[in-house]
Amino acid sequence: MSEFTNHKANRVEKLVELFRLVIQEEMTSELVANYQPVIDLAGPADVIEVVDQLVRLQIPMPQLKKGINKALNLLNKSLQEFPYQPPFAGSFLDYLIQNNEQIDLRLKVIRPLLKEINQGNLLTKNELKDKFTDLAKIDLHYQIKENVFFPIVEKYLPDYRCLQLMWSFHDDIRRNLKEVILLLDSENFDIKRFNRLSGDLFFNIYAIKFREERILFPIISELIPEKELNSLITESREIGFPFISPETLPSSNDMATSEFSGEVDLKTGYLSAEQIRLIFNHLPVDITFVDENNKVKFFSTPEKRIFRRTNSIIGRDVKNCHPHESVHVVKQIVEAFRKGEKDKASFWIQMKGEFILIQYFAVRDEQGTYKGVVEVSQEITEIRNIQGEKRLLDWTH
pLDDT in tens, 102-150: 999 999 999 999 999 999 888 899 999 999 999 999 999 999 999 999 9
Strands 354-364 and 286-291, by their bridges, are unpaired
pTM score above 0.75: no
Dihedrals phi, psi of 288, to nearest 5 degrees:
-130, 130
> In angstroms, what CA-CA distances link 44 with 36, 39, 218, 318, 328?
17, 12, 7, 61, 67
**Four-residue CA torsion sign, 40, 44, 50, 54:** positive
List, for residues 23-68, the tens digit of each pLDDT value: 999 888 888 899 999 999 999 999 999 999 999 999 999 999 999 9
Domains of the chain in sequence order: 2-80 (no CATH), 92-239 (1.20.120.520), 270-384 (3.30.450.20)
Q: Which residues, including other chains, have CB under 8 Å from residue 241's CB and lie 6 or more apart?
A: 95, 99, 140, 141, 144
- Tens of pLDDT, residues 247-271: 654 444 444 444 556 788 887 788 9
DSSP 156: H
Q: Model confidence over 347-397: pLDDT tens digits?
A: 999 988 899 999 999 999 989 999 999 999 999 999 998 988 888 888 875
How far apart, in whole angstroms, are the C-alpha atoms of residue 387 and residue 21? Answer: 46
pLDDT tens profile 303-326: 888 887 777 678 878 877 776 667
pLDDT recorded at residue 111: 96
Maximum alpha-carbon separation in the chain:
89
The Cα 272–Cα 278 span in angstroms is 10
